[in-house]
């Protein structure tokens, strides 16, 4: 514990008196999403943007599915607002801030694609194409895996073609992993809160201000959304929200853990996002064995299997929360002892 506190004080404390930005970002985003979500619920009902029950879904009545709009706008309004305040106050120079236009454009593409899918439905290949486009925008900006730290302390630089291939695969796979996890009331929102907390802690330890700020915002946003999304849900985030969150965590894992964590450069983000990565890996293997399209939907995800055992939705969700937290804390512990 003393080692962790020392790391926080030496790295997070290096930003002077600016530690207020993290609780401020959390509180502002929390308040914004609490205000926006009821408005989105009313709008979804008015325009007929409802998620209707079917054989693959577990809810039994139509539910508004535009929650991603509240998450998306609360996130960027808060993030840009806090950064504007820092600039106005003559605050610190934040590394990576030049990437924000690319981050906003790529995120907006997947948010809009998700909204269209929520309204009309889109073929899996079309959604995959836009995910690749969003990933390439980030890679072109330099947000990707260009090198790996080795256990010996050296750095392994990747050839350009390999760096692009690995970065593209990582960004698309993690985006889809989070998207596929959104199958029960409050599941993805809660996992996002836990994942955000772990990434926030890692970013503070390593003095990565922009990543830490983004995670503080997403924690507040998703926690506020849980007020309306936990069972029985009053609204779903839909693909607009799940694709946005998936890309956000895929991108942050590249900006933060992968590039700077020494001997566990690849292991850390895998541990932090262990549940969605495991669930997606099993889904791909299952569909290959059954000779089904990889993107075909089914009811054999981890949460579906637990429901089939007779568990209630809240019990399943809380169990997955605990597994996600355990893996995340283990990853954080590795960061601390191997720093």
Calculate mean pLDDT across residues 250-265. 63
The pLDDT confidence band at residue 212, using thresholds 50, 70 and 90, is very high
pLDDT of residue 14: 47
With left for phi above 0 and alpha for psi between -120 and 50, is residue 232 left, alpha or beta?
Answer: beta
Nearest by Cα to 314 from 55, 58, 68: 58
Question: pLDDT per residue over 294-319, tens digit each?
Answer: 766 667 778 778 888 888 889 999 99
Dihedral over alpha carbons 126, 127, 132, 135 (to 10 degrees) = 150
> What is the pTM assigned to this prediction?
0.87
pLDDT of residue 266: 61
Q: What is the C-alpha to C-alpha distance for residues 163 and 119, in angstroms, rounded to an integer?
A: 36
How far is residue 308 CA from its own chain's centroid? 27
Q: Out of 11-20, 39-48, 110-119, 213-222, which region has the weakest mean confidence (pLDDT)?
A: 11-20
Calculate mean pLDDT across residues 213-239. 95
Q: What is the C-alpha to C-alpha distance for residues 298 and 23, in angstroms, rounded to an integer?
A: 40
Q: What is the C-alpha to C-alpha distance for residues 211 and 257, in angstroms, rounded to an integer?
A: 10
Instruction: Please check the confidence at residue 258 and state whether its pLDDT lies above 50.
Output: no
Question: pLDDT per residue over 136-162, tens digit each?
Answer: 999 999 898 877 766 566 677 789 899
Q: How far apart are the first and last CA of the chain?
A: 14
Q: Residue 272 in 3-state DSSP?
A: helix
Task: State the DSSP H helix or E strand holding residue 204, giving kind and residue range, or none if neither.
Answer: helix 187-206
Under 8 Å CB-to-CB from 298, ≥6 apart: which residues?
Answer: 56, 283, 286, 287, 292, 304
Q: To the nearest whole percent, how much of the chain has pLDDT over 70?
A: 84
Max mean pLDDT among 29-38, 114-123, 195-204, 252-261 falls in: 29-38
Under 8 Å CB-to-CB from 1, ≥6 apart: which residues?
Answer: none
Q: Are the CB atoms for 189 and 222 separated by under 8 Å?
A: yes
Token duo for residue 245: 């969150």
Instruction: Please check the confidence at residue 113 and state whether its pLDDT lies above 50.
Output: yes
Q: What is the C-alpha to C-alpha distance for residues 166 and 115, in angstroms, rounded to an integer?
A: 28
More confident of the two residues 222 and 286: 222
When the pLDDT of each residue in the chain is averaged and rounded to a whole number, the result is 84
pLDDT of residue 287: 79
Distances in Å between the Cα of 312 and the Cα atoms of 118, 138, 278, 321 are 26, 39, 22, 14
Nearest by Cα to 73 from 85, 65, 81, 64: 81
Q: Are the CB atoms for 114 and 240 separated by under 8 Å?
A: yes
The pLDDT confidence band at residue 41, using thresholds 50, 70 and 90, is very high
Q: Residue 74 in 3-state DSSP?
A: helix
């Amino acid at each position: 514990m003393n080692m962790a506190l020392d790391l926080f004080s030496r790295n997070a404390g290096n930003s002077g008196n600016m530690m207020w930005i993290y609780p401020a970002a959390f509180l502002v985003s929390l308040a914004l999403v609490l205000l926006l979500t009821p408005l989105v619920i009313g709008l979804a009902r008015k325009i007929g943007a409802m998620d209707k029950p079917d054989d693959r879904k577990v809810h039994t009545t139509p539910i508004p599915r535009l929650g991603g709009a509240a998450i998306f706008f609360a996130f960027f309004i808060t993030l840009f607002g806090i950064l504007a305040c820092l600039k106005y106050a003559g605050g610190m120079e934040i590394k990576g801030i030049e990437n924000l236009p690319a981050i906003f454009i790529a995120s907006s593409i997947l948010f809009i694609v998700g909204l269209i899918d929520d309204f009309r439905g889109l073929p899996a290949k079309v959604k995959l194409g836009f995910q690749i486009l969003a990933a390439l925008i980030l890679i072109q900006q330099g947000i990707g895996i260009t090198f790996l730290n080795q256990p010996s302390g050296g750095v392994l630089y990747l050839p350009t073609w390999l760096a692009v291939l690995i970065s593209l695969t990582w960004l698309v796979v993690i985006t889809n992993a989070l998207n596929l996890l959104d199958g029960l009331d409050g599941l993805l929102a809660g996992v996002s809160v836990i994942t955000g907390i772990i990434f926030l802690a890692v970013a503070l330890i390593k003095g990565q201000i922009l990543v830490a700020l983004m995670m503080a915002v997403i924690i507040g946003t998703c926690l506020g959304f849980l007020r309306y999304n936990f069972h029985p849900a009053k609204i779903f985030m839909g693909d607009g929200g799940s694709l946005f969150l998936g890309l956000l965590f895929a991108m942050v894992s590249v900006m933060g853990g992968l590039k700077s964590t020494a001997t566990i450069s690849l292991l850390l983000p895998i541990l932090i996002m262990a549940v969605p990565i495991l669930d997606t890996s099993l889904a791909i293997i299952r569909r290959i064995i059954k000779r089904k399209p990889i993107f075909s939907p089914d009811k054999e995800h981890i949460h579906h299997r637990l429901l089939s055992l007779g568990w209630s939705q809240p019990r399943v969700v809380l169990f997955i929360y605990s597994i996600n937290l355990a893996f995340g804390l283990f990853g954080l512990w590795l960061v601390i002892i191997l720093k």
